[in-house]
Amino acid sequence: MRTMKSMVIAGGFGLVLGVSAFGCATSGQEQQRALAHQQNSDTAAADGQYGIAGAEQRKAEDSHHKATTKAIDEGKPLPPQTQTGDRPSSY
């Protein structure tokens, strides 16, 4: 009985730990999202889709805000604000 209780507690702890780590992005990952949204905004604006461009620009700003907040929490330097022409690092 004691072994089963220990297994249930360990399994529950592992589940909580796994779920909490699953949804957490680092400041670098958030900044990459901001850059991807910036690129989407630039592409939409170049195609004359200004409503989509504006929505993507707002998403870029929101992701940059999250990246900045996480960088402060992580003790890392603040990422630069995205600008027209910025690309994610995978390019």
- Segment 2-51, tens digit of pLDDT: 776 776 676 776 665 554 455 688 999 999 999 999 999 999 999 999 99
Sign of the torsion formed by the C-alpha atoms of 74, 31, 82 and 53: negative
Q: How far apart are CA 24 and CA 35, in angstroms?
A: 18
Q: How far apart are CA 36 and CA 33, in angstroms?
A: 5
State how many domains the chain has. Answer: 1
Predicted confidence at residue 13, as pLDDT, reads 64
Q: Determine, yes or no, domain membership for 16.
A: no
Write down the pTM of the prediction: 0.70
Predicted confidence at residue 15, as pLDDT, reads 60
Q: How far apart are CA 56 and CA 35, in angstroms?
A: 10
Q: Determine, yes or no, domain membership for 47.
A: yes
Predicted confidence at residue 47, as pLDDT, reads 96
Domain limits at 74? 26-81
Predicted confidence at residue 19, as pLDDT, reads 45
Q: Determine, yes or no, domain membership for 76.
A: yes
Summarised one tens digit per residue, pLDDT across range 36-89 is 999 999 999 999 999 999 999 999 999 999 999 999 999 999 999 888 888 888
Tokens of 10: 């360990």
Give φ, ψ of 35 to 5 degrees.
Answer: -65, -35
